[in-house]
Each structure stands twice: as C-alpha cells, then as structure tokens.
Amino acid sequence: LETLPNNTWCRCQHEKEQESQENGRLVADSVAEKGQKSCSGPGQVSNGYPSTSPQSPRDGAGAGADRGSTPGAFRTLVVQQTSLDPPRETWSKKMDFLLSVIGYAVDLGNVWRFPYICYQNGGGAFLLPYLLMAVFGGVPLFYMELALGQFHRSGCISIWKHICPIFKGIGFAICIIALYIAFYYNTIMAWALYYLLSSFRATLPWTTCTNQWNTPNCTHYLSTDLNVSWTNYSISPAEEFYIRQVLQVHLSPGLHQLGWVSWQLALCLLFIFIVVYFSIWKGVKTSGKVVWVTATFPYLVLLILLIRGATLPGAWRGVVFYLKPDWSKLLTTTVWLDAAAQIFFSLGPGFGVLLAFASYNPFHNNCYKDALVTSSVNCLTSFLSGFVIFTVLGYMAEMRQQRVETVAKDAGPSLLFIIYAEAIANMPAATFFAIIFFLMIIMLGLDSTFAGLEGVITAMLDEFPHLLARRREWFVLGLVCVCYLGALSTLTYGGAFVVKLFEEYATGPAVITVVFLEVIAVSWFYGTTRFCNDVQLMLGFAPGVFWRVCWVAICPCFLLFIIGSFLAFPPEVRLFDYLYPFWTTVLGYCIGVSSFICVPSYMVYLLVTTKGTFKQRLLKSITPEAPGSSGPQRDTIVITNAV
C-alpha cells in the first residue's frame, strides 16, 4: 500500500519478477510530499522504486488521479504488474556504446579504401566533396538511425510496425545482407591471422625468394640491391606469398572452378568465429567489454605506425602524393560518386547495427551528441590512416626508385597484404611491426563483425521473443555456424574471386536501395514532424531545420545519386589477372536482388493477408500500430483497485 498526495502524478519503473506473468507487488507505505518527485503526466504511478526515466514512451499504462477527493487526502492503491517479456538489456556504461559504434564504423575500409580513393580522386581536393557528402548525407542518416533505435527500442524488423508496417520487408532484407557480409568479411581476418602466425619468426617469410612457393620471377628489389634489376616480369616476394601461399589463387582458373578448401585458412576462420561467438553470445554486456580492447588497440597501433612511417626515408613523397590537390578532378562525376559511396559505407547506416546498438540505450540518452562524436571520429580516423599508409608507400617508392603511383597501383586488401607487408619486412624490427600491424587488422575486423551479427540477433530476438529470448546462446551458435558454412566458398583456392564478387555486387547496391526506402518511409510516411516530436520527447529539443531538410530531400537525392551511378556505370570487376566474365555480373546482381526482393514480397503479403477493402488495407498497412495492439508490452502496470 502506498499513500500519495492528491493530484500528484509520479514516474515509475518496473522490475519484473522471475518467471511470473502476473505478479502483484505490495509496496511499503511511504508519504510523498506534493511536488517532491518528478512528475511525468497521467498514466504513470509510483511503485516505491526510485524515480527514473521510462524505458519507452509506450512502456507503462496507468490510471487517472482521484480528482474528486479533498485536498490533502491520500489515495490507497493496489498495484498489479503484468509483464510477459523480460526487461530489455542495456549497456553497462555509456562508453561501451560509444566504443561499439566507433568500432563498427571504423573498419578495414578506413585503412585501405579511403587513402586509395583519396589519392585517386585529387588528393587534398577530394576532402571537399568528402566533407560535403558527410555533412549533408552520411551524418544525417547516422543520426536518424540512432534516434529511431533509441526511441522505439526495437531491432530492424519489429521496429517497422511502429513506423510504417508495409516496409517491414526492409528489416528482413537487412538481415540477409548482413549474412552475405559475414560470408566474406571474416575471410579477410582469416588472411590476417595467417600472416600474424607467419610473423613469429626472425625472418618474415615474404621477405625472401627461396621458399617453395616462389617462382623464377621472384625478385627482391630495393635500392640497396645493386646487382638486381626490376623488369616487367618481376614479382615481389610479398606478392608471391600473398597470391601463391596464402590465397593459392594460381590453383584456380576462375569462378567456374574454385578448387578445394584451404585447410589452413579454414582453421584460421574457425578460430575467428570462436572468438566472435564468445564475445557476443551473452549480448551487449559481454561485447561492450570486448570492444574496450578491439576498438582502442587499433588507434595505438596507428599512432606507432605513423611515427615509424614519418621517420622513414622518402616518407614525404607519399604524404605529398596523398594530399597534393588536383582541383580539376572536382569537375568529374566520379569524384563525387566515390565521396558519397565512401562516406556511406564508412559510417554504415542501413545495416541494422545502429538501430540495434541504440535500442539498448536509456531512453533519454543524448543520441544527437553521440552521432556527431562517433561520425567525426570515423572521418578523422580515415584521414589519419591515409598518413599511415602513404608514408610507407613513399618509403617503398624511394627504396624501389619508382613513382608513388606505381607502388600504390592496387586498391583493396592487396594494398595491405602486399605493399604494406613488404614495407614492414624491410624495416628494422620487422617482426614486431608485422605482429602489431596484423593484430590491428584483426581487431578492426572483429568490431565490425560483432556489430553486424548483433544487428541480426537483436532483430530476430525482438521479432520472435517468445521463441528465441531464452535461447539466445543457441541462436547465436546456429547463426555463427551458418556464417562459417557460408564462408567456405571464400576459403577455396579461388576464394579471393568470391570475396571480390560479394564485395562488388551482393551488398553495395542492395543496401543503398534499402536505406533509400528507409529514409522515404520515415520522412514521408511516418512523417518528419512526428519523428522530430519523438526526438524532442527523448532529448528535450527537436532537430533543427537543417536536419529536417536533409531527411526529407537531401538524403533521398544523395542516395538516388549513388544508385543511379551504379546502374549507369557498372564497375568492371578485375582481380589480379582475372577479368570477371559477363555471367558473373549476372550472378552478382542476382545475389543482390535476393536480399532486396524481401521488400516488395512483404508488401504484397501484407496487402493480401490484411482484411477489408483495398483502400482499407492500404491505409492500415501504412499506419503505425498503436502501442499495445500487438500484445502485452513490457513493463505494463494495471491498476486493479483504487480507493
């Protein structure tokens, strides 16, 4: 029994009893002075616990005040609490969330893709379109997803019933895209682990040409090797180690004949997935602790490598080549397309990860500040990585007596596993630098894998709570096993060809299209005004005009520009000396469409299964469901008797 002053509305928080669906709680007597506790409005009553923010605006249903009683009188309430779902997990600390988001956004692409694209598109001049695309496209999308996830506290599937039910297929498409990414992204970490294990020796194996995998064309050429000449047929030992020993690409003629699975890489990938499983199997409570190491260690290594690279002979050549502005490049469409694609894939909206991570935040967490901080850290990390890479490329150009653009001709993983690995091998203390460098590559990849799989896990657990909520460990185990089995094709002799195919076709165009539909659904169907009111309810202030204009007009145009460019100028895919035939392009687009097809399929399914006339079905399918319409919500409080 609890006594309360008349007409006093007080905020409450509910803790669920173990295993009970209908648990009445008798709260100790207490007298609350009028105005002593923070008031939140009708619909909430005190249950004797400390006054805190509600988990969600939908959490809790209360009773009205006894307005007919005399001033100073007390009300006696018997409170029965009904909760069929366990309370939602939350981050242990705010830094767990920030490090998880930073670790997700800062991935392998920051280390190799941004430096390469920057020098390819005008050096310092590229920073202008990059920053413009970040301000008007990337950061608004980043902010929108954090706010959506935090307000609705749902994964990427179930959240759509609160926004626009007909777009629920977006959530399923995101989960399929995340699986495709898991099929190939972790293989790159397996390569890095192979390099790491090969680094524990006095002489790194990619330094010499006397190994069993080397060919007569292997040439170890530096300026100090006076008796060695570099020809058009020469191959560096680092390149042969990567191609012939790690990947064994020479044993596969192409995608039509992949060959056997490499057992060494299979074991490396198995170890990676074991680490992933035991980092995420218990939820954000465990993964939030792991990221303290995996998200911070790469910055320490980048700082060490930057200092070491700056002291190498010829480092200045790389820095000048990296930042020398070529303003004429800004007149080409390619530069703006590359800037838009880079900032989009770097920040990573649309993969369900930001929705999942933000859903574990307290309701009044300042996600606006989080979006600005984490996106700024991501962009600055990309810029810093450019110095780390190009100081070493300048050193390699000096040692080989070549131009920097000749040394830096390869983009993608080859830049790390061939050029950078060879540069490290020719430094003093090469073993030490090789170990920390490939550890950094693994850490960068692990963060993104944790995040990508957590997005799928959160989505499925929120969509099927009664089936999966108490079986999280088993579900995560099954998901990891599926990802490992799906990755086996990337571990074959021709696995590098599969990785390139997935990277170019399976994820890029599909996820951009999905995010385009997401922005349209939130801004035009759910409504920018309603969304801004939700943000104001959480943060105490509404987004300004700039953010509204970005969400309604600029972001959709930004995404349409990328989609149109992909369709108008399909990339010519080539890896090493293998030019992908036309049928692989068709296969790639089929893989991409296989995920996106979930969106129109669910629209048709919902319209067919909904009752009523077509107009009624359509209106119902674009109308957000009312709180509680889909069953008992979390932390429901029912007043059964009031005197």
* The residue to which tokens 């090469």 are assigned: 430
* The residue to which tokens 């893709």 are assigned: 113
Query: What is the pLDDT at residue 508?
Result: 76
* Residue closest to 518 by CA, chosen among 136, 98, 185, 147: 147
Mean pLDDT confidence for 540-545: 92
For 15-166, where are the E strands, in sequence order?
22-24, 74-82
CA angle, 459 then 473 then 281, to 5°: 75
Mean pLDDT confidence for 530-552: 93
Residue 270 has pLDDT above 90, yes or no: yes
Whether 500 maps to a domain, the answer reads: yes
Q: Is 391 exposed, middle or buried (0-12, 13-18, 19+ CB in 10 A)?
A: buried
Higher pLDDT, 409 or 67: 409
> 146 vs 81, 277, 365, CA distance in Å?
30, 25, 10
* Residue closest to 538 by CA, chosen among 379, 392, 358: 358
Query: What is the pLDDT at residue 93?
Result: 85
Higher pLDDT, 505 or 98: 98
CATH of the domain at 102: 1.20.1740
Kindly report, residue by residue over 214-241, the tens digit of the pLDDT: 888 888 766 566 566 666 677 888 888 9
Whether 190 maps to a domain, the answer reads: yes
Kindly report, residue by residue over 353-404, the tens digit of the pLDDT: 999 999 999 989 999 999 999 999 998 998 888 888 888 888 888 877 777 7
Residue 18 has pLDDT above 60, yes or no: no
- d(CA 636, CA 449) in angstroms, rounded, equals 35
Whether 632 maps to a domain, the answer reads: no
Higher pLDDT, 408 or 623: 623
Query: What is the pLDDT at residue 73?
Result: 52
Lowest pLDDT segment from 101-110, 390-399, 410-419: 410-419
- d(CA 69, CA 443) in angstroms, rounded, equals 64
Higher pLDDT, 153 or 321: 153
Query: What is the pLDDT at residue 19?
Result: 37
User: Is 577 assigned to a binding site?
Assistant: no
User: Confidence band (pLDDT; 50, 70, 90) for 80?
Assistant: very low
Question: Are residues 51 and 40 in contact, defined by beta-carbon separation less than 8 angstroms?
Answer: no
Contacts by residues 31-40 (CB-CB < 8 Å, ≥ 24 positions apart): 31/3, 31/74, 32/3, 32/4, 32/5, 32/8, 33/5, 34/5, 34/8, 35/8, 37/8, 37/10, 37/11, 38/10, 38/11, 39/8, 39/9, 39/10, 39/11, 40/9, 40/10, 40/11
What are the φ and ψ backbone dihedral angles of 636, each rounded to 5 degrees? -80, 135
Mean pLDDT of the chain: 80
User: Is 30 assigned to a binding site?
Assistant: no
Query: What is the pLDDT at residue 191?
Result: 94
Query: What is the pLDDT at residue 409?
Result: 67
Residue range(s) defining the domain that contains residue 248: 94-622
Which residues share a beta bridge with 575?
578
Angle between helices 555-568 and 508-520 (to 10 degrees): 150
Query: What is the pLDDT at residue 226?
Result: 58
- d(CA 115, CA 385) in angstroms, rounded, equals 7
- d(CA 72, CA 138) in angstroms, rounded, equals 55
Kindly report, residue by residue over 113-137, the tens digit of the pLDDT: 888 788 778 777 888 888 988 899 8
SS3 of residue 112 by DSSP: helix
- d(CA 634, CA 86) in angstroms, rounded, equals 7
**CB proximity list for 573: less than 8 A, separation 6 or greater:** 500, 501, 504, 579, 580, 584, 585, 588
User: Is 110 assigned to a binding site?
Assistant: yes
Q: What percent of the chain has pLDDT over 90?
A: 33
Kindly report, residue by residue over 452-507, the tens digit of the pLDDT: 999 999 999 988 888 887 888 999 999 999 999 999 999 999 999 999 888 888 77
- d(CA 295, CA 98) in angstroms, rounded, equals 10
The total number of structural domains that make up the chain: 1
Residue 202 has pLDDT above 80, yes or no: yes
Which residues share a beta bridge with 80?
24, 638
Query: What is the pLDDT at residue 331?
Result: 82
β-bridge pairing 636-642 and 578-579: unpaired
* The residue to which tokens 């920053």 are assigned: 131
| Token reading at 133 | 């695309």
Residue 338 has pLDDT above 50, yes or no: yes
Mean pLDDT confidence for 192-220: 88
- d(CA 349, CA 558) in angstroms, rounded, equals 13
Query: What is the pLDDT at residue 30?
Result: 37
- d(CA 372, CA 362) in angstroms, rounded, equals 18
CB-CB neighbours of 564 under 10 Å? 11
Whether 641 maps to a domain, the answer reads: no
- d(CA 522, CA 164) in angstroms, rounded, equals 8
* The residue to which tokens 């590359």 are assigned: 338
Residue type, 62: G
Residue 204 has pLDDT above 50, yes or no: yes
Residue 17 has pLDDT above 60, yes or no: no
User: Is 105 assigned to a binding site?
Assistant: yes
Q: Global pTM?
A: 0.80
Q: What is the Cβ-side half-sphere exposure of residue 636, based on CA atoms within 13 angstroms?
A: 14
* The residue to which tokens 């780390």 are assigned: 388
Query: What is the pLDDT at residue 13?
Result: 38
Whether 12 maps to a domain, the answer reads: no
CA angle, 9 then 13 then 19, to 5°: 140
User: Is 549 assigned to a binding site?
Assistant: no
Query: What is the pLDDT at residue 151?
Result: 93
Query: What is the pLDDT at residue 230?
Result: 64
Query: What is the pLDDT at residue 49?
Result: 34
Q: What is the Cβ-side half-sphere exposure of residue 299, based on CA atoms within 13 angstroms?
A: 14
Whether 485 maps to a domain, the answer reads: yes
Query: What is the pLDDT at residue 11?
Result: 38
| Token reading at 361 | 């935040």
527 conformational bin, left if phi > 0, alpha if psi -120 to 50, beta if neither: left
Whether 242 maps to a domain, the answer reads: yes
Query: What is the pLDDT at residue 415?
Result: 80
Query: What is the pLDDT at residue 124?
Result: 79
| Token reading at 473 | 């460990």
Query: What is the pLDDT at residue 466?
Result: 86
- d(CA 279, CA 264) in angstroms, rounded, equals 23
Kindly report, residue by residue over 157-183, the tens digit of the pLDDT: 999 999 999 999 999 999 999 999 999
β-bridge pairing 578-579 and 22-24: unpaired
Alpha helices in 233-296 (DSSP H): 237-240, 263-280, 284-294
- d(CA 405, CA 411) in angstroms, rounded, equals 11
* The residue to which tokens 């209106």 are assigned: 619
Lowest pLDDT segment from 26-35, 516-525, 596-605: 26-35
- d(CA 555, CA 515) in angstroms, rounded, equals 10
Higher pLDDT, 22 or 528: 528
User: Is 211 assigned to a binding site?
Assistant: no
Residue type, 323: L
Angle between helices 139-152 and 367-400 (to 10 degrees): 140
Whether 152 maps to a domain, the answer reads: yes
Q: What percent of the chain has pLDDT over 70?
A: 81
Mean pLDDT confidence for 592-612: 91
Residue 75 has pLDDT above 90, yes or no: no
Residue 55 has pLDDT above 50, yes or no: no
